[in-house]
Amino acid sequence: MDFEYCLGFLASSLAAFCCIGICSAPTCESPQYMNYGEIGTINCIFHDDFFSVLWFDTKYDRQSKPILHYQDFTKSGAGYDSGEFDIHSNGSLIITNVSLEHETTFTALYVHSRTEDVVFFSILVVVIVKPKEEFPRINYCPSTSQCFAEVGSTSVNCSVGSARPSIALTWVARTVEGDRNITTDMSIKSEGLGYTSRATTGDVSQGLSRLVLLVCKASDFRGILQSNESLLLAQNQNVTLSTTEKRSRYIERYTKMRLGCTAGDIGFVVWKKVRFDEKNAKTEHEMLLYSIFLGGEWSEVFANGFNLGTNASLVVPVVDIRHEGLYYCIYGDGLKDELVVYDVTVKVEPVPSYPVVEGCDRHQYCVLKSNYDGSLTCKLKGIRPRVQLQWNTFLGSDTLAILFTNQHLTIQERGETFDVTLTSTYHVMDMSRDRLTIECKVPDTSEKLFYLTTKIDLLFEKDDVDPTDIASETPVSNGLTWIIPIVVVPLLLFLILCLGVVYRKYWKDKTIKSQKKPEQPGEVWGMLSSMDHQNQALTANNFKQQFLKQIKERYKDLYDAVQPIPYIKDRLYCVDKVFVEGGIEFLDSTTSDRRIRGWKRLETFQDIFHDPRVKSTRRILEGEPGYGKSTVTLQFAYEWCNNIQGSALKDVEILILLRLRQLGGVSSVYRAIKQFILPKDTTLTEGDIENIFRKCTSIVVILDGFDEYPDQESIPTTDVINIIARQMFQEYEVVTTTRSSFLPKKYPPLTKRVRLTGFDDNSRRYYIRKAVVGEDEERVREIEQYLEENPILRDLCQVPLLFVIFAHMTYESEKFRNLNSVTSFFRYMISCFHSHMRNKMEEENVRKYELFETDHRELDRVAFEAFSGNTQKIVWEKEVLCKQIGQEFYDQYVRIGILVEEEVIDIIDDPGTLITEHVQYKTEVRFYHKLFCEWYAAHYISDYLQQNPNVDLSTFLQHLDPFDVQYMYRFSCGLNSDSAEKIISYLKNIEGGDKFAILCILEQTGKVDHIKETIRQLCDEGVLISGYDSLLLQRSSMQILELAAKNDIPIEYVSLHNCLQSVDLSTSAIRTTSGLTLTSRIPVKALAVYLSNRDMTEDEAIDILQVASMCPSLRSLTYADCVPPRSFNVGPTLSTLKSRNVTGK
């Protein structure tokens, strides 16, 4: 279906009400254009009741004969008789087959009535001959309208062949400051039915940068060409890499590689890779991809496996050894360009992921019984790149205690990886030592690649060795001599005693029952064996029942302790009493076509397991902070424990729910279950848990909070990482929850992604009824009205966590209702936390408490440092945090609920650690929610910028992505106006930051008076909402529309690009795929709906027209890039649209 149909189908639907004004006099426009070889019409507007029309194919004179005469509904004339011409009932002349002979002046004699004068009209007809090309053709781009080429200092030409009328061509260089003319040699010559135009540039390297965007522009005013421009991204100079600084990057194999190019605004970018052609012994620069951002966005990828990411970065989804090498990007804006070079090395972890010491059967620590002189060998297998190994003492103070000599290192290439072996002799210098801890490790120079070490304790043999000392170690050689007397002898004695008892019982039974036939010894042992199997089965079943009972008790403790308001610790709810579903979607990745891929709606959270489109053993449940990921997991736990009818987990044998933030240092999933789910006094062992798992056929594992998991980069990898990567628990169903910006680095292709999109109006209304006011409809409407009148608060309350706090607290106090920024919202909420606790304190402690409330600088710094590193770490050990912020301050903030304590396991692997001290419990501390951490970090930012006005923000904020910590930026602007100016200026210079900056401006006062002009400018330019934009960017765009509506600022047009989800007629709103809604109250003049990723249904087409009829400001509605229904019944909507002069394009 062609593009013209897509654009025109609405116009045809609206034809019944498109108004053509009645002119006071008849008219015929001149000139008029007609396509060669098609039916053409010379359109004239005559009165309906005209008397006669005569048409001539020349300028009129008295000798001319008409080709067609139309009078009293009768047609006549030579042209009509020959079939060459016909006439419309309105008097317009029809040419049945347009040819070049019709390119002339036609004359119409119009007679309205017998008593009126004749009116003459002369109309010039111009015949259009369309060329084969749909765009100006550049000699370097034989079949496309844009391409990249290395042109050097040669000229470039473009042409349009056999077009009529002739088309003038010009060359320009496009820059961020506009188009610049280039000297052009232009020629036009007649060819066939039309004219061939050709434009040639001079030397494109003169006065231009290394990269130049050349545009061939056609002066086509009649739409002969589909595109009037063709683009050539030309490289006119060679690249010299030898003098350019190279950035080293080490990328782990099978992970994602992202090479950044620039964070600023650019016009175009080119990515290449340097290869060495061994056959021809020369270096080649392989083209990977290019992209043009000026006047749109065009990209072309030449090499499989490479993609263009944000900020013009090069992305390789799955890195392999072949991706090693030199990469470079050239980026520019048409005025200047820059070069960035990367030296990429692919890193492969050895197997196992530590040096293996000969004679050591433990993993990364063991004890070797040895002499004061000897040799040691350690190996790394399957590592890349090549590394060194070295022996040294674990403690620096022991350096002189041992001498390593004759160190022999061998590196053997094994396909794409290497085996590294180090053999060394040693001599112990200090003969008084009983033991010495040493390690084989990769030297410090390679630690940026690997931290690989194995520690061993050398236990030196002496004549006066105490056997009890040796018994506590782990011997490797000659250890049986002491095992025999200590272990084997008691076992033999016990076995003899057991046989004696069995033998005695056997003969006793035989004496009592001597009249029966004696049983054979084999029958006795068979009976005992059968009883043993029955007891084992009974024991296994008892273990399983005990396990299920204990984990359900633990889950009950969790789902019965939901706390909507942190500081009210005595107001706890069962999760089922407060759980309300928000929006939920899944990523449809069943096709390789990016246009068709996208987020699609799920009806309910149960569809995570029920919907066949999300069927998989691996799922990721993602969402922004506060969107209810953990609450969903608690609801699943509640339904499983209580066997709720209709639940997706009703028939699941075992549900495992692990909170990953607790699992630091715990590599075994069975140990994690025992330590964090089962009670401390459980008699079940890790082995029992593993046996229970092996005998179950239906297990669901939920790993909650991967973004908070401390061991994401652990070497060797933990069970959690292996489970996510489907290298463990392959048949079990696993759901991993995380923030959208913090997905696991390694997850299998079969993984299905699901995301939460927050609360809409219906979800909020249901929660108010269910958890706050009950059936008090007046209070429900009252709270909803507060949100309706405050667009900023309504946007904020799309986040379920914040809405829940708002709903409960506004029910208690009316002050919450008048807040008009997220900063004022959070400031008041925090003050409520403190006020509630202050009222419970003794009078003498209030003053000190008030000091803690206002002076929290140390906590601010701690919160900022948690975000400002390469990785976010928002969990602290209690002892460390107490030292940083003070014990009294810490206790106060824990009582309030802003800080939350959790008990976790601490694994001690230091050499010499007693087995009883290997596993210890410790207390870790985190904020009630990540948003609270952003609040205190924002205080640090605003204070720091005020004290350091000349700081470079691009460095100071380099690890703080606005699209990941948006509230931190908004809080910072709301806390301090001086700091806000610097932050807003910084945001406006990053991609998509101009719209986000609007939200930050609002934080200063919550009023829009001083930014109305900025909003008006954005609305004059039109607002684009794309399904491919980040959620924050979409929310920012929608917020601008809401503010414009609130302040009566007209909006020129709104474009919805591939983000149509549904239409809600009950609220007169169009819902987007991200869960946002565009309502009919938005004062938009023109609405365009682009839908290239799927077909439009008949219901959608009708519903959008109905919403359009409810929008009083709308004047134009367009469907574009679509496959609409061929016909549909619009009904009475047309009358409404007709009365308002709404047009379709």
Phi, psi of 635 (to 5 degrees): -65, -40
* Structure confidence by residue, pLDDT tens digits, 983-1017: 888 887 887 677 677 778 777 655 556 667 777 87
- Same domain (yes/no): 691, 754: yes
Q: Residue 24, Cβ neighbours under 10 Å: how many?
A: 7
- Whether 592 and 629 share a structural domain: yes
Find the largest Cα–Cα distance for the chain.
149
| Least confidently predicted of 82-96, 218-232, 680-694, 1020-1034 | 1020-1034
The neighbour count for residue 122, using CB atoms within 10 Å, is 13
SS3 331: strand
What is the rounded distance in angstroms from the CA atom of residue 519 to the CA atom of residue 995? 91
Pick from 147, 150, 293: nearest CA to 158? 147
Is the preceding omega at residue 748 within 30 degrees of 0, hence cis?
Answer: no
Q: CA 341 to CA 211: how far, in whole Å?
A: 16
**What percentage of the chain has pLDDT greater than the value 90?**
25
Q: What is the pLDDT of residue 906?
A: 63
pLDDT at position 595 over 50: no
Residue 620 pLDDT class (50, 70, 90 cuts): very high
When mean pLDDT is compared across 70-74, 647-651, 1027-1031, the lowest value belongs to 1027-1031
509 part of a folded domain: no
DSSP symbol at 966: H
Q: What CATH number is given to the structural domain containing 413?
A: 2.60.40.10
**Domain ends where: 742, 758, 774?**
758
Record the tokens describing residue 820, joined without a space. 């008009």
Confidence at 822, pLDDT banded by 50, 70, 90: confident
Across the range 380-390, mean pLDDT stands at: 92
In a domain, 206, yes or no: yes
**How far is residue 1035's CA from residue 1023's CA, in Å, rounded to a whole number?**
12
For 404, other C-beta atoms within 10 Å of its C-beta total 16
Looking at residue 477, what is its pLDDT? Answer: 39
The reported pLDDT for the residue numbered 1126 is 56
d(CA 1037, CA 735): 32
The CATH number of the domain holding residue 588 is: 3.40.50.300
pLDDT at residue 1137 above 60? yes
Q: Per residue in 960-977, pLDDT tens? A: 888 778 889 989 988 887
530 within domain boundaries = no
**Which residues lie across from 421 on neighbouring strands?**
379, 410
If pLDDT is split at 50, 70 and 90, which confidence band does 1018 have? confident
Judge if 725 and 597 occupy the same domain: yes
Confidence of residue 504 (pLDDT cuts 50, 70, 90): low
More confident residue, 870 or 737: 737
Nearest CA to 627 out of 1063, 1075, 1079 is that of: 1075
- The Cα 37–Cα 1077 span in angstroms is 48
| Gap between the Cα atoms of 604 and 583, Å rounded | 8
72-81, 570-579, 838-847, 916-925: segment of lowest average pLDDT: 838-847
Claim to verify: residue 903 and residue 827 sit in the same structural domain = yes
Residues 121-135: tens digit of each pLDDT: 999 999 999 998 889
pLDDT digits (tens, 9 = 90+) for 732-743: 999 999 987 788
Give residue 472's pLDDT: 38
Residue 843 has pLDDT above 50, yes or no: no
Does residue 1056 register a pLDDT over 80? yes
pLDDT band at 1093 (very low <50, low <70, confident <90, very high): low
Kindly give the interhelix angle for 930-947 and 857-868, rounded to the nearest 10 degrees.
Answer: 100
Give, in order, the Cα–Cα distances in Å from 1076 to each of 27, 629, 1020, 1039.
49, 19, 22, 10
499 in a structural domain: no
* Mean pLDDT value of segment 394-404: 88
* Alpha-carbon 410 to chain mean position: 45
Number of Cβ within 10 Å of residue 556's Cβ equals 15
- 692, 646 Cβ separation under 8 angstroms: no
Q: Which residue has the higher pLDDT, 3 or 347?
A: 347
- The label of the residue with tokens 């106090």 reads 813
Question: Is 285:273 a contact under the CB 8 Å cutoff?
Answer: yes
| pLDDT-based confidence at residue 5 (cuts at 50, 70, 90) | very low
Identity of the amino acid at 255: T
Q: What are phi and psi of 888, to 5 degrees?
A: -65, -45
Which of these, 763, 850, 842, 755, lies nearest to 804 by C-alpha position? 763
Same domain flag for 649 and 732: yes
Give the chain's mean pLDDT: 79
In a domain, 167, yes or no: yes
Instruction: Specify the range with the lowest mean pLDDT, choosing from 170-179, 931-940, 972-981.
Output: 972-981
Distances (CA, A) of 92 to 25, 55, 598: 15, 9, 49
**Is the distance from CB of 28 to CB of 44 less than 8 angstroms?**
yes
- Weakest-pLDDT range from 87-96, 606-615, 1057-1066: 1057-1066
Q: Which two tokens stand for residue 818?
A: 């008048």
Question: Is 721 within 8 Å of 703 (Cβ atoms)?
Answer: no
Distance, CA of 1078 to CA of 200 (rounded, Å): 49
Query: Strands 919-927 and 733-738: what pairing?
Result: unpaired
Residue 214 shares a structural domain with residue 261: no
Question: Which one of 441-450, 853-862, 904-913 scores highest in mean pLDDT?
Answer: 853-862
- 3-state secondary structure string across 983-1016: HHHHHCCCCCHHHHHHHHHHHHHCCCHHHHHHHH
How many residues does this entry show for the chain?
1145
* Cα dihedral across residues 1065, 1068, 1074, 1076: positive or negative: negative
All residues at 6 or more sequence positions from 483 whose CB lies less than 8 Å from its CB, including other chains: none
Claim to verify: residue 1054 and residue 1109 sit in the same structural domain: yes
pLDDT band for 160, please (50, 70, 90 cuts).
very high
Question: pLDDT of 850-869, one tens digit each?
Answer: 677 788 899 999 999 888 86
pLDDT level of residue 500 (50, 70, 90 thresholds):
low
Which distant-in-sequence residues (6+ apart) come within 8 Å of 160 by Cβ? 131, 133, 136, 137, 167, 169, 196, 197, 218, 225
Residue that finishes a domain, picked among 735, 758, 781: 758
Render the burial of 1009-1028: b for 16+ CB within 10 Å, e for the rest: eebeeebeebbeeebbbbbe
Query: Residue 466: its pLDDT value, please?
Result: 45
Strand order in the sheet with 40-42: 40-42, 93-95, 85-87
Backbone angles phi, psi at 353, to 5 degrees: -90, 45
- Quick check: is 1125 in a domain? yes
- In this structure, the answer to whether residues 985 and 1025 fall within a common structural domain is no
Q: What is the pLDDT of residues 972-992, one digit of tens each?
A: 988 887 788 888 888 878 876
Look at residues 354, 320, 326, 325 and name the one whose alpha carbon lies nearest to residue 252. 320
Q: Among the ranges 18-27, 459-468, 729-738, 793-802, which has the highest mean pLDDT value? A: 729-738
Q: Do residues 672 and 723 share a domain?
A: yes
Q: What is the DSSP letter of 367?
A: E
Stronger pLDDT, 529 or 878, i.e. the higher one: 878
693 and 842 fall within a common domain: no
Range list of H helices, 560-601: 575-578
Quote the tokens at residue 129.
């001959």
Distance CA 780, CA 787 (A): 11
Please give the average per-residue pLDDT across 1069-1097, as a whole number: 77
Higher pLDDT, 568 or 842: 568
> Do 334 and 357 touch, CB atoms closer than 8 A?
no
Q: What confidence tens digit (pLDDT) does each residue in 184-206 have?
A: 899 999 988 899 999 998 777 66
Cβ contact 581:1075 at 8 Å: no
Question: How far, in Å, CA of 667 to CA of 1047, rounded?
Answer: 57
User: Of 129 and 822, which is predicted with more confidence?
Assistant: 129
CA distances from 209 to 175, 291, 292 (A): 11, 17, 16
Q: Which of 95-109, 632-646, 898-912, 1122-1136 has the lowest mean pLDDT?
A: 1122-1136
The pLDDT, as a whole number, for residue 453 is 85
More confident residue, 982 or 343: 343
Q: What's the pTM? A: 0.47
Shared domain check, 722 and 587: yes
Residue 531 belongs to some domain of the structure = no
Given a cut of 80, is residue 549 above it in pLDDT? yes
Q: How confident is the model at residue 468 (pLDDT cuts 50, 70, 90)?
A: very low
Q: How far apart are CA 523 and CA 71, in angstroms?
A: 121
- pLDDT of 132: 85
Query: What was the pLDDT predicted at 844?
Result: 46
Residue 686 has which token pair? 């890790």
Domain assignment present for residue 480? The answer is: no
pLDDT value at 321 more than 50 = yes
710 phi, psi to nearest 5 deg = -70, -25
Q: What pLDDT is stored for residue 73 in this prediction? A: 84
**Residue 55: exposed, middle, or buried by beta-carbon count in 10 A (0-12, 13-18, 19+)?**
buried
> What's at 956, amino acid-wise?
F
Contact present, 371 and 465 (Cβ < 8 Å): no
Q: Is the pLDDT at 51 greater than 80, yes or no?
A: yes
SS (H, E, C) 1067-1116: CCEEEECCCCEEECCCCEEEEEEECCCCCCCHHHHHHHHHHHHCCCCCCE
Q: Which of 1007, 1037, 1069 is the last residue of a domain?
A: 1007
Provide the residue range defining the domain that includes 709.
573-758
In this prediction, residues 338-355 reach a mean pLDDT of 89
Residues 60 and 2 in one domain: no
- Six-digit token pair at 353? 């992921």
Indicate the SS3 state at residue 170. Answer: strand
Total structural domains within the chain: 8
What does the radius of gyration of the chain's CA atoms come to, in whole angstroms? 39
Structure tokens at 925: 């501390």
pLDDT for res 187: 92
CA dihedral for 550, 551, 552, 558, sign (positive or negative): positive
